[in-house]
Structure 1
């Protein structure tokens, strides 16, 4: 059967039992190093993808994809705006809201909070507050009842539960006979929710829309309208298009702007971890250099015989590039397979290690999540495999070039 000479000899050198066992050990070490580096990189990237996805889902369970607000104050025509935006083909849901930064007081306990007035049934279209309720019901937010729903951590800090009273203090002021006084109102705690993120569980509270409007003296106006879109990744463009269709008089804010710093930090962390872990693959790949340098030294006589029989320097170079590339290719394929298997099963593996060692790696009181999520992206796996294989190929060039420069007479002088 016909075989290209460089490939045939290169693969034969790879399979052959060498006289120098140290060379075989270095070759195996290089292959294992590439495999472990790829496994580590795929698993870490998958876990970070899962972490990002989990955090993003929790954020968007409370935050809308986009918000329309009147830049000059309250939005008085919000009912007309709701009717218009709901007719847009890319709008899944829309809900009005009133929002203010205020303080919640219970005895000596005082905490700042983002207080949002909502209509419970309308809010279901843009957020998942109802799903996150751990006590009480969001339906208890009734016009005139002055009920409030608190985040779990916020309720714990204030020391209140269902049926207890808290005082809501807003930045707005009222003129009284004794002077200017902040506007405040007693509310009854009717529900407690837990999202799993401190930004909401510790700092958010919900009241009924009309109660919030009365508290802020907005009359029949609201702060704005929250939107849920068909594709959250297109939120910046779709929100601008919707605002333009409404006459361009509303201020547009989408989720990528509200949480820009947080998601940018996560993306930067993923890039830096990728670079750090790629160094493991690079070290293993460049071990191929030392392996092939020793092989070239060991095969000086063989190279000389091949050159004497008419093999060109390019063909000699190809032989050793095939040998080094084979080591890199095998390590890359095994690493990709093992990496994907481990990434898919990382949660039960970590749970087993926790049970075995009696520890808990992700304390929910410290981290956003209590379990280790994983989301394997084919693009990440292919990118890691391609980069590792490319580094392996590049690592073969120098020793293969040295082999091609071997002079037959010099190599055979002492044979």
Structure 2
């Protein structure tokens, strides 16, 4: 929308409060505030939802892979051939053996359910999720035959364990006796404690070398599954489809969507629902802009009539009032983007402050999965929010601007 010089002058004049127009200015100010809050709320919520999904995806996939090839009975005998075939499949980055078994852990008279994971030594040390997440101890001390394991931070708190402490793992797969099967109990030393940031993992995981896990579970040379990483997680199904004939009769292929389908679907539905609900805030702000423009048109009816008699066209009046409304919306958008950015930058400080003031735990990791409030801003989503706000603001200016353009100077100035 291109304005000439006098149209810019009039639009600027109408944006500033005149004599007796304080109320109109206050309403316009509320409109700016409403737009700013709506835009800020949308940016904050969408960024947090994106961050939540991305953090969960990165950490879940980082520990479980994009897909697993799992044996039917928890044992995959020909895992070497399956892993080699998977590595040669186009689009596959890696295929590594993995043992994962739920057991019981005991220490200091406390018993807790755990998930024992047996990985190759290089996989333990090079895992991007575990690497750099060790809060005490050292992963390098965990070697095959050393009797040392790494456990999650929450599990360490529950069992009262620390690096150098002893924990016992209890497996129901023990030796047979005349009175039944005796559970197998093996003691290990805690070599490292890690905190990946997902409560369920930090509370349950016990990581050990694959050879030690095979001995504990009496698997021999077998493993439980093969973990697969692919180039494109969104196309993991088609990528691994050529492996189906090889796996047939031995196990199944389960990708990350199937393993966590309920969680990610719920997040996506909540994300869309929050976007729609928060757009209503911007819609209300657009109505505020429309009401302030309607009052401005009523207050400036005489001025509009005079301008029309001086040669101003209907199109000029339309452009002037649409510019006023769009400017109010644009100011609100800029303020909203700034507010949203500031909040996201200090998001964890804000959460901690509110918890301190209220005395309530607003971010319980056992409920929220993650230990901290995440955030990941998508520039395209921010652009979409700005465009939606501008469109709603534009639509809100049409009615009052058309009323201003339709002003009949003869009727207004008849008794002047």
TM-score range, shorter chain: 0.7 to 0.9
| Counterpart contact for 1:117–1:211, Cα < 8 Å | yes
Indicate the residue corresponding to 1:186 in structure 2. 186
Measure, in 2, the Cα distance between the counterparts of 1:203 and 1:170. 15
- Are the equivalent residues in 1 in contact too, given 2:74–2:225 (CA < 8 A)? no
Distance 1:67 1:222 in 2: 12
5+ residue gaps in structure 2? none
Give how far 1:151 is off: 1.9
Distance 2:74 2:51 in 1: 40
For 2:23, the equivalent position in structure 1 comes to 22
2:386 aligned partner: 385
Number of the residue aligned with 1:229: 230
C-alpha distance 274-184 of structure 1, shift in aligned 2 (>3 A): same
Structure 1 342/171 Cα, relative in aligned 2: closer, same or farther at 3 Å?
A: same
Name the CA shift for 1:245/1:135 in 2 (closer, same or farther; >3 Å).
farther
1:19-42 Cα distance to aligned partner (Å, 9 max, x none): 423222322332233234323432
Deviation (angstroms), 1:164: 4.0
Change (3 A) 1:252 1:126: farther
1:307-350 per-residue CA deviation (whole Å, 9 max, x = no partner) reads 667877666544432332232233324433x2465267436975
CA distance in 1, matches of 2:107, 2:10: 79
State the match for 1:219 in structure 2: 220
Instruction: Say whether the 8 Å CA contact 2:199–2:365 is kept in structure 1.
Output: no
CA distance in 2, matches of 1:275, 1:219: 55
Cα 1:139–1:243, aligned 2, differ >3 Å: closer, same or farther? farther
The answer to which of 288-297 and 274-283 deviates more is 274-283
- Alpha-carbon distance in structure 2 between the residues aligned to 1:352 and 1:156: 22
Residues in 1 aligned to 2:150 and 2:221: alpha-carbon distance in whole angstroms: 22
Cα distance change of structure 1 residues 115 and 318 upon mapping to structure 2, 3 Å threshold: same
Cα shift readout 1:171-201 (whole Å, capped 9, x = no counterpart): 44653111x2253121212323222222111
Alpha-carbon spacing, 1:95–1:125, altered in 2? closer, same or farther (3 Å): farther
Query: Partners of 1:149 and 1:311 in 2: how far apart?
Result: 79
Q: Distance in 1 between matches of 2:352 and 2:158?
A: 34
> Is the CA contact (8 Å cut-off) linking 1:6 and 1:322 kept in structure 2?
no
Residue equivalent to 2:199: 198
Partner of 1:156 in structure 2?
157
1:348-382 deviation digits (Å, cap 9, x = unpaired) = 9759979x989998778766666655433211221
- Cross-structure match for 1:251: 252
Question: How far is the alpha carbon of 1:384 from its aligned partner?
Answer: 1.4
Question: 1:374-415 CA deviation, whole Å, 9 max, x = no partner?
Answer: 433211221111111111111112223433454444433443
Whole-Å separation in 1 of the counterparts to 2:182 and 2:273: 48
Distance 1:203 1:24 in 2: 59
Could you tell me whether the CA contact under 8 Å between 1:13 and 1:323 is conserved in 2? no
How many pairs are equivalent?
Answer: 411
Residue 137 (structure 1) shift: 4.2
Pairwise CA RMSD: 3.8
For the residues of structure 1 that align with 2:248 and 2:310, how far apart are their CA atoms? Answer: 80
| Aligned pairs for 1:100-139 within 5 A | 100-106=101-107, 108-124=109-125, 128-139=129-140
Instruction: Report the 3-state secondary structure (helix = DSSP H, G, I; strand = E; otherwise coil) of the residue aligned with 1:202.
Output: helix
Structure 1: how far apart are the matches of 2:279 and 2:186?
A: 57
Give the C-alpha shift of residue 294 in structure 1: 1.1
Residue 64 of structure 2: SS of its match in structure 1? coil
CA contact (8 A) 1:300 1:411 kept: yes
- The equivalences for 1:4-403 within 5 A come to 8=8, 11-15=11-15, 17-19=17-19, 20-71=21-72, 73-106=74-107, 108-124=109-125, 128-143=129-144, 146-172=147-173, 174-178=175-179, 180-191=180-191, 192-238=193-239, 240-241=240-241, 243-244=243-244, 246=246, 250-305=251-306, 316-336=317-337, 338-339=338-339, 341-342=341-342, 345-346=345-346, 350=350, 373-403=374-404
SS in 1 for 2:183: strand
Task: Tell me, in whole angstroms, the C-alpha distance in 2 between the residues paired with 1:215 and 1:352.
Answer: 43
> Matched residues in 2 for 1:54 and 1:296: separation?
50
**Does the aligned pair in 1 maintain the 2:244–2:253 contact within 8 Å?**
no
Does structure 2 conserve the Cα–Cα contact (< 8 Å) formed by 1:146 and 1:186? no
Q: Deviations over 1:275-325 (max 9, x none)?
A: 444333333222111111112212323444566678776665444323322
